[in-house]
Amino acid sequence: MQDILTWEKVEGPATCEKLAGSTDDLYIHHYALREDGSVFGTLVDGSEPYGPFSLAGNGLWNVAGLAQSLGGMCLGERRLVVVPPRLSWPGIHDTIQVRAEKLIFVL
Protein backbone atom coordinates (compact mmCIF):
# COMPACT_ATOMS: atom_id res chain seq x y z
CA MET A 1 0.00 0.00 0.00
CA GLN A 2 1.38 3.38 -0.98
CA ASP A 3 0.72 6.30 1.33
CA ILE A 4 1.76 9.24 -0.86
CA LEU A 5 0.08 10.71 -3.92
CA THR A 6 2.18 10.46 -7.09
CA TRP A 7 1.59 11.11 -10.77
CA GLU A 8 3.65 11.12 -13.89
CA LYS A 9 3.16 12.06 -17.51
CA VAL A 10 3.02 8.91 -19.63
CA GLU A 11 2.38 10.50 -23.00
CA GLY A 12 1.45 13.88 -24.36
CA PRO A 13 2.10 16.68 -26.79
CA ALA A 14 5.55 18.26 -27.06
CA THR A 15 4.03 21.68 -26.46
CA CYS A 16 1.06 22.25 -24.20
CA GLU A 17 -1.86 23.97 -25.89
CA LYS A 18 -3.98 24.33 -22.72
CA LEU A 19 -3.52 23.41 -19.05
CA ALA A 20 -6.39 22.19 -16.87
CA GLY A 21 -7.30 24.99 -14.50
CA SER A 22 -9.52 25.14 -11.46
CA THR A 23 -12.42 26.81 -13.29
CA ASP A 24 -12.39 24.78 -16.54
CA ASP A 25 -15.20 22.34 -17.30
CA LEU A 26 -13.43 19.01 -17.80
CA TYR A 27 -14.32 15.52 -19.04
CA ILE A 28 -12.05 12.50 -18.64
CA HIS A 29 -11.59 8.92 -19.76
CA HIS A 30 -9.80 6.82 -17.14
CA TYR A 31 -8.87 3.28 -16.16
CA ALA A 32 -8.51 2.47 -12.44
CA LEU A 33 -6.97 -0.61 -10.77
CA ARG A 34 -6.91 -1.84 -7.18
CA GLU A 35 -3.72 -3.15 -5.56
CA ASP A 36 -4.64 -6.75 -6.46
CA GLY A 37 -4.95 -5.80 -10.15
CA SER A 38 -8.75 -5.92 -10.30
CA VAL A 39 -10.52 -3.17 -12.21
CA PHE A 40 -11.97 -0.53 -9.89
CA GLY A 41 -13.59 1.60 -12.55
CA THR A 42 -13.10 2.46 -16.16
CA LEU A 43 -14.28 4.94 -18.75
CA VAL A 44 -12.25 4.36 -21.90
CA ASP A 45 -12.51 5.45 -25.51
CA GLY A 46 -15.84 4.36 -26.93
CA SER A 47 -17.67 5.18 -23.71
CA GLU A 48 -18.90 8.54 -22.55
CA PRO A 49 -16.22 10.41 -20.58
CA TYR A 50 -16.86 11.38 -16.96
CA GLY A 51 -17.91 14.99 -16.57
CA PRO A 52 -18.36 17.77 -16.59
CA PHE A 53 -16.40 18.50 -13.45
CA SER A 54 -14.08 21.22 -12.30
CA LEU A 55 -11.02 20.93 -10.09
CA ALA A 56 -12.41 23.71 -7.89
CA GLY A 57 -15.13 21.65 -6.30
CA ASN A 58 -17.78 19.80 -8.24
CA GLY A 59 -17.38 16.27 -9.53
CA LEU A 60 -14.07 15.28 -7.95
CA TRP A 61 -14.54 16.92 -4.56
CA ASN A 62 -14.74 13.51 -2.85
CA VAL A 63 -11.55 12.16 -4.49
CA ALA A 64 -8.92 14.62 -3.34
CA GLY A 65 -6.05 12.71 -4.97
CA LEU A 66 -7.52 13.01 -8.46
CA ALA A 67 -8.45 16.65 -8.03
CA GLN A 68 -4.86 17.43 -6.95
CA SER A 69 -3.16 15.34 -9.64
CA LEU A 70 -5.15 16.54 -12.67
CA GLY A 71 -4.48 20.24 -12.13
CA GLY A 72 -1.99 21.44 -14.73
CA MET A 73 -2.61 18.44 -17.01
CA CYS A 74 -2.31 19.32 -20.70
CA LEU A 75 -5.00 18.76 -23.27
CA GLY A 76 -4.11 15.43 -24.90
CA GLU A 77 -1.81 14.28 -22.09
CA ARG A 78 -1.99 10.84 -20.46
CA ARG A 79 -1.03 10.46 -16.79
CA LEU A 80 -0.56 7.62 -14.36
CA VAL A 81 -1.82 8.64 -10.91
CA VAL A 82 -1.32 6.56 -7.77
CA VAL A 83 -3.98 7.53 -5.23
CA PRO A 84 -3.37 6.45 -1.61
CA PRO A 85 -6.38 5.42 0.52
CA ARG A 86 -6.51 8.68 2.51
CA LEU A 87 -6.99 10.67 -0.75
CA SER A 88 -9.11 8.08 -2.56
CA TRP A 89 -12.82 7.39 -2.99
CA PRO A 90 -14.85 7.26 0.22
CA GLY A 91 -14.84 3.76 1.75
CA ILE A 92 -11.86 2.52 -0.31
CA HIS A 93 -9.01 1.22 1.80
CA ASP A 94 -6.37 0.32 -0.77
CA THR A 95 -4.16 2.24 -3.19
CA ILE A 96 -5.76 2.88 -6.58
CA GLN A 97 -3.75 3.36 -9.78
CA VAL A 98 -5.60 5.60 -12.25
CA ARG A 99 -4.52 5.98 -15.85
CA ALA A 100 -5.95 9.30 -16.94
CA GLU A 101 -6.26 8.47 -20.61
CA LYS A 102 -7.80 11.58 -22.07
CA LEU A 103 -8.70 14.98 -20.70
CA ILE A 104 -11.22 17.05 -22.66
CA PHE A 105 -11.82 20.73 -22.02
CA VAL A 106 -15.02 22.59 -22.67
CA LEU A 107 -13.84 26.00 -23.82
- Distance, CA of 10 to CA of 66 (rounded, Å): 16
Confidence of residue 107 (pLDDT cuts 50, 70, 90): very low
pLDDT digits (tens, 9 = 90+) for 25-82: 888 888 888 888 888 777 666 677 777 777 776 566 667 787 788 888 888 888 888 9
Backbone angles phi, psi at 22, to 5 degrees: -65, -20
Read off the pTM: 0.76
Domains defined for the chain, CATH in brackets:
6-106 (3.10.50.40)
The distance from CA 86 to its chain's CA centroid, rounded to whole angstroms, is 16
Report yes or no: 81 and 98 within 8 Å, Cβ to Cβ. Answer: yes
The distance from CA 56 to its chain's CA centroid, rounded to whole angstroms, is 14
